[in-house]
Amino acid sequence: MAMTDEWGNDATRRAKSQLIDTTVPNVARVYDYLNGGKDNFDVDRKTARAMAGTAPVLVPATLVPAVRAFRHRVLRFLVAEAGVRQFLDIGIGLPLAGNTHEVTQSIVPECRVAYVDNDPMVLSHARALMTSAPGGAIGFVDADVRESGAITAGAQATLDLSQPVAVLLLSTLAFVENATEAAAVVSTLAAAVPSDSYVAIWHLASDLDQTLEGAIRRWNATAAQRITLRSRSEIADLVAGLELVPPGLVPVMDWRPAPDDPRFENPTPVYGLVARRL
């Protein structure tokens, strides 16, 4: 299991832990709460419940299971059909059942995963709880999604960037407010991996559920991590120059649905795509 920063140093761990703020909602902890996890605080639970009161799709039984099912379908496609064995997972969130290495290594144990996040609580829990299958590897990179150079440099401790890589930006681009900057994140990371690599994205939608806009306004008024919703055309602009894998850019539940997918009363206002680097 590769380490790509100074986390093994006690002083580093203490300094990082002091950055955890329990007085304001945190997106990783709110997601954990919506997924039935226990790594969250009262402020996260109250915020999640208030947002769900505005946007019913945010109740725990809807959005999180929908995007998790999409993620699992994408990973199975990338390993079993596209033949990818390396994954750069950016913005991983708190460890939950079915993490990228668990899904991919259950199909091919030799898969390698570099996890990227800059949330100290996320990285602490990930290092403590995530273990690779024999023959595979996982590593951790402490970096923001905008820090493409640091991401690719750190990922090289785990991945061979001369061989195909799947870059996973699952929810992450919503935290890059400027559209030009968000597109640059995608293009820079895609340029850092070879042909026949892939980029997978899910992104909260601005044009599928009007109630979501009100909930996100509530979130942005209190949280440090602002969220930007985008329309289908705006998300398409982020992957210009990449080849979309059929069925293209669609609501997540329409991307290669499986018979065992969960079913939901409310439509999920999230777009998903997988694109290939030519």
Q: What's residue 2's pLDDT?
A: 44
Q: State what percent of residues in the chain have pLDDT above 90.
A: 66
Q: Are 34 and 63 in contact (CB under 8 A)?
A: yes
Q: How many CA atoms lie within 13 A of 246 on its CB side?
A: 1
Residue 33 corresponds to which amino acid?
Answer: Y
Say which residue the tokens 């990338």 belong to: 78
What's the distance, Cα to Cα, between the start and end of the chain in Å?
Answer: 31
pLDDT above 70 for 109: yes
Cα gap 271→260, rounded to integer Å? 20
Rounded average pLDDT over 87-96: 82
Q: State what percent of residues in the chain have pLDDT above 70.
A: 91
By residue count, the chain amounts to 278
pTM score, two decimals? 0.89
Q: What's residue 93's pLDDT?
A: 74
- CA nearest neighbour of 1 among 164, 112, 85, 121: 112
Cα gap 249→272, rounded to integer Å? 6
Cα gap 122→40, rounded to integer Å? 11
Chain-centre distance for alpha carbon 132: 19
- Helices assigned H by DSSP within the chain: 10-17, 27-34, 42-54, 63-76, 100-107, 120-129, 148-155, 179-191, 210-222, 232-238
Q: Which fold has domain 63-211+226-276?
A: Rossmann fold (3.40.50)
Sign of CA dihedral 261, 265, 266, 267: positive
Rounded average pLDDT over 7-21: 53
pLDDT above 50 for 4: no
Question: Quick check: helix, strand or coil at residue 40?
Answer: coil
pLDDT above 80 for 264: no
Q: Which two tokens stand for residue 233?
A: 């055309």
Query: What Cα–Cα distance (Å) separates residue 257 from each residue in 20, 72, 208, 248?
Result: 37, 11, 19, 13
pLDDT above 90 for 184: yes
Q: Is the peptide bond before 247 cis (omega within 30 degrees of 0)?
A: yes
